[in-house]
Every structure is written in C-alpha cells, then in structure tokens.
Amino acid sequence: MVYIFFMPPWQHYDEPNHFEYAWLISDRGKLPAATDVDIQMRAETARSMIDNDFFRNIGFLPDPTDTSKPAWIGAYSQLSNPPLYYLIASFPLYFVRGINIADQLIVVRFVSLSFYLVTLLAAWGITRELTPVKHPLRFYLPVTLALLPGFADVMTGVNNDVAAIAFVSMCLWGCIHLIIHGARILPVIATIVLTILCVLTKETAYVALILFLITTLFVLLGEKHRRTAWILISTGSAIGLVLVFSTGDATDWYRSTAQESTTRSASPQAVVGDYVFSIEGSARNTPHWSTSLFQPLLVGPTESQNRGSYTLGAWIWADTPDEVSTLILGNGQKRIFRRVEVGMEPAFYSYSVKSSGTKGERMWVGLDPEPLNIGNNVYYDGLVLVDKSISSESPPQYSDGQGTEGVWGGEQFVNLLRNGSAEQAGLRISAWLDELGASFLPDNTRPTLILTYLLDWNDVSWHYRLTVWRLFRTFWAEFGWGHVTLKGHSPYRVLLVISFAGIIGFIVWLFRRIVTRKDIHWDVVFLLGIMLVVVWGGAISRGVLYLGQNRLYLPVARYAYPAIIPTLLILCIGWQALFWWLYRWKKTSSLAPYIQMALWLGALMVIDVYSLFSILAYYSAGA
C-alpha cells in the first residue's frame, strides 16, 4: 500500500505504455491493434509525466500541445503483449473514466497489488505442502516475500509482470500439490487453467508449460512408478539433445540471421584456411534491427604509437557482382562500416577508425551484407581487427591457417577477432527449433544466439559479472526504472553477505538431510530446480542480444521474479537453518524460535525503512 502512493506516477518499468494498453481496452471496449493510439490520452499522459518530473535527467520534454502526432510516453509500445493482464486492469478503469490520468494510474496499481497478494498466498500454500504444521518456514517465506523492497516496488507498478508472477506462483503450487497428493479432479482442473492463464499473460510465464508437463508425467506414473518417470526423463533428455543440437555454424559468432544453412561453409575460394562465412542475402534477421552475425569484444588500447586507432579488413565476394557492406564496427555510439562493390572473386577491403582509446573499451564487430540484389549470397573470409592504424593497401599475411596473427603493412599484429576465418565449427540449435524459439522469446532472440552466449562465457565473463550484479541489486532493492538505488557506499555488499549466508546455510542443510537420510521430495526438488534454471537462465541471457548493439542492456530482476518463490525458499531455508544452529549452540530456551522470528522481521523492517528513505531522498532532491 505504501509503494502504491510512495512511488511517483509513471516511475516503473514502461509503466506509461502498460497503462496505455489497459486504458485503450477500457475506452474502446475491445483489444487494440498494435498500431492503435489515442492522441488526447497520450497528450494527457505526457503532461502528467512532465508535472511529476518524469523527464529529470532524460534531456528532453515531449510537447503535449502538438496534436499532429502522438506525444512521447515511452520508447516501447506494449500493445503486442499477451492481453490477459490488461483486460483485468481495464475493468476498474471503466468506472473511473474522466478523472485525472494520474489517479487512474493509481487505480490500476491496486490491480497489481491484488496480484501481489495472490503471490503471497501461493508462497504460503507451497510451504504448507512442503512442511509440517507450525514449521517456521511457513512464517519465513511469506513474510520475506511480503517485505522484499525490490519485489514490492515491481508488484505495485502497472505492468504485466505482476500477473505473470502471480499465475506462475499459483501454477507452481498446483503442480507441487499434484506431485505430493496425486491427481484429484479440482486441483487438476485448477492447475490446467492456471497454466493457460500463464500463456495468456507474458513470455516469462511460459515456464508454466514445462512445470505442467513434468508434473503430468510424475502424476500419471504415480509414486509406485517414480523410477520409471526418472528413466523417461533421462531418456527423453538424451534424445532431445540429439534432436535439438546440430553443428556447422562458425563458433564465437552470434547469429541473428534466419537462414537455415550454416553460417560457415567449405569453399574452394577460401583465402585463409578452407572455410568462409556464408550469409544468405534473402534471409531476414530476428529481430529485424539486429546484425546477421556479430562478435562482442572488450579491448583496451596498446602501448603503440597509434593508440586509440583500429583497422578492420576482410576478403569479400558474392555469387553475382553486387554492392554490400564491409565489416561493421560498433564503437561507443557509432556503427561504422563502408558500402563497397564486390565481384565473384575474393577481394580485400579494409578501413581504419579512431576510437576513444579508453581501457576496457566495449566494441563489437558484425557481418550484415545487405546486398542490393536481395537473393545474392555474400561470403567473407580472413576477418581481421587490429588495434593500430594500417594504411597499406595490401592484405595481411597470416602466419597460420586460423588467421590469428601475421604481418600487415610491414608490422606484426595479433587479430583481436576470434575465429576470424570461420575455421572452427560450433554448436547451434536445429533450424526448425531455432525458428520456433525466435517467435516466442523476448525480442525474437534466436535460441542459437543464447547458446553461443552460454558457450562463450570465458570471453564475455565481464558481461556475466555486470549482469549478475545488476540482477542481484534489483532483486533486493533498486526502484523505479532501476535508477533509484539505496543510499550509502556499501548497502548492497551487506545484502550480498546476507544472501551468501542463506545459500551456504541451504547447502549445509541439504547435505545434512542427505547424510542423515531424511525424506526429501526429489521430484519436487527437480521441479523447482528446472524452474530456477529456466527462469534465471532466461533473465541472465535477456541482454545478450545487445552485445551486438551500441547500447548495452543489463536485465533486471523482474524477469527472474517468476521464480521468486523457489529462490526465496532456498534463502529462507538457509537463514532458518543458520538461526537454528546458532540457538542450538547457545542452548537457549523454548523462546528461541520466536526470538529468531522477531530478529528476522526486524531485519526486514530495517531494510524496508532504509529503502523508503532512499526513494524519498532521490525524488526530494529533484523537487
């Protein structure tokens, strides 16, 4: 309730555009098309955003008086999202039409609050399934969920995440109930309905389909045939690996091209080694604004005289003479390339650019030929990037068949690109599944691109570190659009220590249960583990596509919140176990459980008050 009124209007992720979707349904009585817009509503919203100091530090203001075009209220339309949340949110809006637009927003925030309460109910229900009567976990999990500052902020904003989180949490409760108690008509129907609701809400809720399929297998075979279920899961996973994965793409290169053929092919025209990059000119990219192939780099200037300069080059040709793009260099806010005339025989093209020359500079190199003849196939070989300016018109002379180093313009060089001549083959997702996955994943990201990211962890470890830290901070306590942080120098380090304590406590607790052979619902553990891997894996890889864009995007915890209950379940078990061991060592009285509950509740309240103070300090500074 505090967050509904405490956070200024429009200060949640894409909140103006989410609100617009619900408003259009309420106003028109039907689902809007992806291009629908209401000029007057946009103007009123933009005016409210200005009045509430939304555009502080953004650098521009929309003009609500300009009726020739819709006022700017956000960069991304939400009108192509699944409709369920917006249909529910539109209902109360129908009864408050005509009041101030900011007050209408508050009304919809109460809809989000109701989904928050549903999530808390699911948390209690899941602990009830897993623990005996009066077990302290029935207190720890719901209370921690209720008082987690970052979660409270997201769950009281206008967005479809709140419905996705609530429905997935309820679906998880239903699945766990079915596994433990077996098939009963009402729980079965409820779980099926909840799974359908998840699909109608948001892509992050699609994990419910996986949960339901696993649960169905366990329930159909029953407790007596649980070993058979494990055999089927193991066998199915092995067969799936064979069907899902194939080889042939150039390793270390992230693909967005939808071509069915591999991006690497053997060619008698290869200049370096035996293979070349092959890009089908007729194939689209998914998403359309991405690059056919790209490779992210994190480099710094050398001690050479030409510090801050780079030279790129490649042999390029096509099936028929055409005009195509050379290598693309993404550097800072620039996307640099040349358009050149190519023939049917390999010819070398290069150019030099200046850079900022800063240490640890983020760059990327891409291939996106865009031939004038759309059906033309374009080939690249011997891709090279060096951190110096080379003016020689002669191509480099490589000292190996991989194109990793050599002499260029009379100077020794080391190629900053990995697998620049496509000699090394890597894994990809089978073409049919890659295309299917791209139609469901956010931003139409291709599963093969995500697979490349996972396999490239050593060379993009810097991105993993930034992503995990961003997810951790927003999981606990970053607010608004992720731009309002806790005051002070090291509050997140304290939260990091608390989190690690919970994880260590859980590991020790689990080890002790295994050693002492206490009952563990391994089928439920498997279900929760799959959920954690899928949801957190999806959240971590959410920003991978932007490694090939000038604007780096680091995902936030709202993409991982569909797995908030199993995540907090691990932490709460660990914290509760640590408390128990501490009080057991001190041989305290029977009041110990109540003391530890009071201490934990007090700790959460300290974090909450500190969070509210930080939010107030941020927005008061701009008042």
Q: What is the pLDDT of residue 526?
A: 93
Contact 579, 506 (CB under 8 A): no
Listed in sequence order, the DSSP H helices in 52-160 are 84-94, 101-130, 137-146, 149-154
Q: What is the pLDDT of residue 622?
A: 60
How far is Cα 404 from Cα 420, in angstroms, rounded to an integer? 7
Structure token pair of residue 596: 């530890």
pLDDT single digits (tens) 3-55: 999 999 999 999 999 999 999 999 999 999 988 999 999 999 999 999 998 99
> 393: pLDDT confidence band, cut at 50, 70 and 90?
confident
pLDDT value of position 332:
67
Instruction: Look at residue 97 in the predicted model and tell me its pLDDT.
Output: 86
Task: Quick: pLDDT tens for 78-98.
Answer: 999 999 999 999 999 999 988
Winning range, highest mean pLDDT, from 168-177, 549-558, 591-600? 168-177
Contact 482, 468 (CB under 8 A): no
**3-class DSSP state of 539:** helix
Residue from 618, 482, 553 nearest 56 by CA = 618
DSSP for 411-460, written as a single string: EEEE-SSTTTT--SEEEEE-HHHHHHHHTTSGGG--HHHHHHHHHTTTTT
Rounded Cα gap, residues 18 and 156, in angstroms? 13
Place of tokens 């991105």: 463
Q: pLDDT of 155-185, one tens digit each?
A: 999 999 999 999 999 999 999 999 999 889 9
CB environment 92-104: b (16+ within 10 A), e (fewer)? ebeeeeeeebbeb
Higher pLDDT, 446 or 57: 446
- Is residue 439 predicted with pLDDT exceeding 50? yes
The yes-or-no verdict on residue 359 having pLDDT over 70 is no
Tell me the percentage of the chain whose pLDDT exceeds 90: 70
pLDDT tens-digit readout, 233-259: 888 888 888 889 999 999 999 999 999
State the pLDDT confidence band at 358, using cuts at 50, 70 and 90: low
Cα(22)–Cα(14) distance, integer angstroms:
13
Residue 623 has pLDDT above 70, yes or no: no
| Percentage of residues in the chain having pLDDT higher than 70 | 95
Q: Cα(474)–Cα(119) distance, rounded to whole angstroms?
A: 19
Q: What is the pLDDT of residue 361?
A: 73
User: How many residues would you count in the chain?
Assistant: 623
* pLDDT (0 to 100) of residue 293: 96
What's the confidence (pLDDT) of residue 468?
A: 96
Q: What is the pLDDT of residue 221?
A: 86
Task: Look at residue 530 and tell me whether its pLDDT is greater than 80.
Answer: yes
- Whether the predicted pLDDT of 360 surpasses 70: no
Query: Which of 358-367, 439-448, 548-557 is predicted with the least confidence, judged by mean pLDDT?
Result: 358-367
Give pLDDT, residue 390: 86
Cα–Cα separations (whole angstroms), residue 262 to 55, 249, 296, 354, 486: 46, 5, 20, 33, 47
Q: Is the pLDDT of residue 497 over 80?
A: yes
**How far apart are the C-alpha atoms of 584 and 568, rounded to whole Å?**
24
Q: Bigger pLDDT: 517 or 616?
A: 616
Q: Which of 308, 459, 277 is nearest to 383 (CA)?
A: 277
pLDDT recorded at residue 589? 60
Per-residue model confidence as pLDDT tens digits over 98-145: 899 999 999 999 999 999 999 999 999 999 999 998 888 998 999 999
The predicted structure's pLDDT at residue 607: 95
pLDDT at 488: 86
Q: Give the C-alpha separation, 249 to 261, whole Å.
A: 9
Res. 301: pLDDT tops 60: no
pLDDT greater than 60 at residue 305: no
Angle CA(120)–CA(121)–CA(122) in degrees, nearest 5? Answer: 90
The token duo for 334 is 């620039």
Q: Which among 490, 519, 470, 486 is positioned nearest to 617, based on CA atoms?
A: 486
Strand, helix or coil at 376? coil
pLDDT at 391: 80
Q: What is the mean pLDDT of residues 354-362?
A: 67
Burial 11-49 (b: 16+ CB within 10 A, else e): bbbbbbbbbbbbbbbbbeeeebeeeebbeebbbbbbbbb
- Segment (H or E) for 586: helix 564-586
Which token pair is 99? Answer: 């009041």
Contacts of 533 (CB under 8 A, 6+ apart): none
User: Which of the residue ranges 84-88, 171-175, 300-304, 430-434 would you say has the lowest mean pLDDT?
Assistant: 300-304
Q: Give the least confident one: 50-54, 193-197, 556-560, 574-578.
A: 574-578
Average pLDDT of the chain to the nearest whole number: 90
| Whole-structure pTM value | 0.92
Lowest mean pLDDT among 77-86, 419-428, 508-517: 508-517
pLDDT at 582 over 80: no
* pLDDT, average across residues 277-293: 93
**pLDDT beyond 60 at 357:** no
Whether pLDDT at 300 is above 60:
no
Which whole number is the average pLDDT over 470-477?
96
